[in-house]
Amino acid sequence: MAIEKLSASKVERLTKPGKHGDGGGLYLQITKKGVKSWIFRYEINGSERYMGLGPLRAVDIWQARKEAQMARACLDRKADPMQERTRIIVAEKKNAEHNVVNEKVKIEYNGCNITLNQCIIEYIAHHKDGWKSKKHCNQWKSSLNTYALSIGEMLVHEINTALVLQVLKPIWFEKTETASRLRGRIERVLSWATVCGYRTGDNPARWNGHLQELLPKPSRIIDPALK
């Protein structure tokens, strides 16, 4: 299959309306009014299709060839180039919308100057609709407001292992189940803050390979009432 039949200078000189082939399914299309654009012709499932690649003023011959090469690669995978392009556009749009939401949150809290309490509020707001009941939401608020109050107004990127232990140790042996749930909730809030760009590094509230080295496993703690 001969390709690259055209040249940049020839593309500029051509004025005859119609389709001028570059090879490999790529054509320079010229309308009766002299408007030039690139199209890619292909067949899939027995049907002939044409995919627009853009006007000449925006897409030069080398860009058009690259687009045509990508389209041929789709066909080699038994995929429809136009459907694949639509899928990519939709995915990029969703990703851009997600980034806008995260950026809006960052601006509202002046970049990384966001406290743990503010992160807790945002985390609950983003997740409460997926929780099984309003009671579950209230339990989250209650445990964090009650036991993490001492570090709530600290900037989230300043929260470290020592501060997490400061919250957990007073109740780890007396209210073990509550403390264990509290640890998990702090871990998830800090993980959310990391994804949003408010903090970096390891999660100081994680259990595996971290707090498990500093605190006894909850299931092994004897109930004080049974001592």
Confidence grade of residue 129 (pLDDT, cut at 50, 70, 90): confident
Give yes or no for residue 104 having a pLDDT over 60: no
Report how far Cα 144 is from the mean position of its chain's Cα atoms: 27
Q: What is the pLDDT of residues 161-177, one digit of tens each?
A: 999 999 999 999 999 99
- Non-local CB neighbours of 108 within 8 Å, separated by 6+ positions: none
What are the chain's domains? 8-79 (3.30.160.390), 116-226 (1.10.150.130)
Tell me the pLDDT tens digit for each residue of 17-59.
Answer: 999 999 999 999 999 999 999 999 999 988 999 999 999 999 9
Q: Model confidence at 127, in pLDDT bands (50, 70, 90)?
A: confident
Nearest CA to 160 out of 199, 192, 119, 204 is that of 204
Give the E-state strand segments of 142-197 in sequence order.
none
Least confident of 40-49, 95-104, 146-155, 166-175: 95-104
pTM above 0.85, yes or no: no
